[in-house]
Every structure is written in structure tokens, then in C-alpha cells.
């Protein structure tokens, strides 16, 4: 079982809808959580990070963290075709190594 | 954008030849990582460094070695390239523990 799990998708949503992307992790002591967006043929770019339980909002994006249930999610409001990409969840575990562990990513398709 | 430069960006090489990929950063980040990205596997850690001359193995380190003689440079060497090492390689850097990671542009390596 991979330490960071994501549904590979594709997740297809209509333009203007809310896209909900989910990620679960196995290490209960994980400390830091990140969402990256990767367009085809490009390198991942950071969208958001979250460290504490609850919601964190940045423009159309909201990250949600629930450490008790060991999941982190990303909501994209008013989805646009330009949001079509693969979204990677990354977790930094406890234990001193501070190595980002990535999920395999969820492909999001926003159709007009 | 973080100043992370990978070279070469594309390379085709023959089985059995040694190959070195270079990562150069101008951000003075302490942590540097080499990942490979493959369909169905996502990003997997090859080696990482937490300081000059301080390196350690990741989950897929067999057949690879690294060196870091200066803060800004992290080299990945494939000692004798095999077709299974055909992949996209990303250099990733981080300024400190628990913070976001920044990606280089990636190197697409094909071993024929």
C-alpha cells in the first residue's frame, strides 16, 4: 500500500462546477501537506500547502485537512478548462527525514 | 520561480553507458532530491541530500549514485544505463524542513 493514495481519475467536471480532489495518507504523524498541479509535459507547481486541521482558502482553491481521518482534500471552485491537469498530493512525514512523499496524482478534466 | 536548472533537458543514450544528470540551484536551498516519474508509479524518490556531502538513498536507488560537492549542485549518475531507467527525472529542492518543495523543469531520458 502506497503511503499517499489518490484516485487516479480522470475526474470530469463541467466548467463552473466545484472539483473535489482527495488524498489519504498512512503516517499518522505526518506534518505538512501540499497540493501541486502538473500540466502534461511540464513539471509540478505548488498550488497550496496546509499544516493545521481545518480549511485554508486561496482564491478559487480551498485545502482541507483532517488529521484524525488522515485525509487532505483540494476544492476548486468555478472550475475552468485551464484547470485541466493532474493534481499531486504530497506529504512530509514525521521522523526527521523531511522527504516529500507524493501520491500518483488525480487527472482532472474540466469540459466547457 | 525558484532558480532550479536541470541539464540536459532531453537525452537519448545506449544501454550500458554511464549518464550524469545535473541539477543547479541558485536559491541556497539545503535540501535537494532526485525523483523519477513514470506512468502508473508517480514520483519515486531516488536519492536525496540534506547538505554538502550528505546524501542518502531513496526507495528506487539501485543503479543510481549521487554527489553533492557544493550547495548549488546535485548530480545524479546512472552507472550503466538500462531500459528500465527510461523516465522523466525531476530535481526538487527545499529551503528547510517541512516547507514546500520546488521542481526543476525535468529531464527526459531514453535508454535504447
pLDDT digits (tens, 9 = 90+) for B81-108: 999 999 999 999 988 767 788 999 999 9
Mean pLDDT, rounded, for B65-80: 97
Question: In this predicted structure, what is the pLDDT of residue A95?
Answer: 63
Give the residue carrying C-alpha cell 485551464.
A82
* Nearest C-alpha in A relative to B55: A97
Q: What percent of chain A has a predicted confidence (pLDDT) above 90?
A: 82
Q: Do B40 and A104 touch (CB under 8 A)?
A: yes
Interface test with B, best of A100, A105, A106 (most B CBs within 10 A): A100
For the stretch A46-80, pLDDT in tens is 999 999 999 999 999 999 999 999 999 999 999 99
Confidence of residue B2 (pLDDT cuts 50, 70, 90): low
Q: How far is CA B52 from the centre of its chain?
A: 15
Peptide bond into A10 cis (omega under 30): yes
DSSP assignment of B32-47 equals EEEEEEETTTEEEEEE
Q: Do A43 and B31 touch (CB under 8 A)?
A: no
> Chain B within 8 Å of A28 (Cβ-Cβ)?
no
Q: Do A100 and B101 touch (CB under 8 A)?
A: yes
* Nearest C-alpha in B relative to A94: B98
Q: Do B97 and A43 touch (CB under 8 A)?
A: no
> Chain B within 8 Å of A24 (Cβ-Cβ)?
no
Of the candidates A30, A28, A16, the one whose C-alpha atom is nearest the C-alpha of residue A76 is: A16
Amino acid at each position: 500500500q502506497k503511503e499517499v493514495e489518490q484516485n487516479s481519475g480522470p475526474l470530469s467536471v463541467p466548467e463552473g462546477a466545484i472539483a473535489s480532489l482527495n488524498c489519504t495518507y498512512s503516517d499518522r504523524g505526518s506534518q505538512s501537506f501540499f497540493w501541486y498541479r502538473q500540466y502534461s509535459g511540464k513539471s509540478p507547481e505548488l498550488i497550496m500547502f496546509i499544516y493545521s486541521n481545518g480549511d485554508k482558502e486561496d482564491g478559487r482553491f480551498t485545502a482541507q485537512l483532517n488529521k484524525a481521518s488522515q485525509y487532505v482534500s483540494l476544492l476548486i471552485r468555478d472550475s475552468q478548462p485551464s484547470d485541466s491537469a493532474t493534481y499531486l498530493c504530497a506529504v512530509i512525514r514525521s521522523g526527521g527525514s523531511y522527504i516529500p512523499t507524493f501520491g500518483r496524482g488525480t487527472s482532472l478534466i474540466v469540459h466547457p | 520561480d525558484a532558480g532550479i536548472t536541470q541539464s540536459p533537458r532531453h537525452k537519448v543514450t545506449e544501454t550500458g553507458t554511464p549518464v550524469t544528470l545535473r541539477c543547479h540551484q541558485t536559491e541556497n536551498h539545503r535540501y535537494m532530491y532526485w525523483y523519477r516519474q513514470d506512468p502508473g508509479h508517480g514520483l519515486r524518490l531516488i536519492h536525496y541530500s540534506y547538505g554538502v556531502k550528505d546524501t542518502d538513498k531513496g526507495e528506487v536507488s539501485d543503479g543510481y549514485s549521487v554527489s553533492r560537492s557544493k550547495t548549488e549542485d546535485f548530480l545524479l549518475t546512472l552507472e550503466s544505463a538500462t531500459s528500465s531507467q527510461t523516465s522523466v527525472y525531476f530535481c526538487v529542492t527545499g529551503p528547510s524542513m517541512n516547507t514546500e518543495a520546488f521542481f526543476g523543469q525535468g529531464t527526459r531520458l531514453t535508454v535504447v
